[in-house]
Amino acid sequence: MFLGLRTAIYPSADLEASKTWFTALLGVKPYFDEPFYVGFNVAGYELGLVPAGEGAGAGAGAGEAITYWGVPDADKAIADLLERGATLHHEVTDVGDGIRVGAVREPQGNVVGVIENPQFALPETATVADGPGR
């Protein structure tokens, strides 16, 4: 069912401070920078920042980070996860450009996100820029 990890979304009480911190850490500026979402491309994967408490559409609730697994069909993946005993965290939502996300809580309470992204493609050489902590 899962195609691999795709996206991590972190809620932030201070989006501007988080954006500055991750820009310095990663050595790249965000490719998408709006008050509701800041997106970084990290070696072909997505690091997203959302205002804490405002990210329900993107899946991040009041202070919860969510990791999204790539799937070919978000509706089918959510249905399969629910059949396996998960509970719905947020319904599948179209977040633009044909990208659809949804999330469940697995039986132990962890949030598992799924993302259907028809544009996802890793670059031939997927590396993270050397920066602090590397």
What is the pTM assigned to this prediction? 0.77
In whole angstroms, what is the distance from residue 31 CA to residue 83 CA? 37
Residues 6+ apart with CB under 8 A from 133: 25
Q: Give the pLDDT score at 64.
A: 83
| CATH superfamily of the 4-116 domain | 2,3-Dihydroxybiphenyl 1,2-Dioxygenase, domain 1 (3.10.180.10)
Nearest to 114 by CA among 83, 89, 134, 85: 89
- For the stretch 117-131, pLDDT in tens is 998 987 776 555 544
Locate the domains of the chain by residue range.
Answer: 4-116
Q: Give the pLDDT score at 108.
A: 84
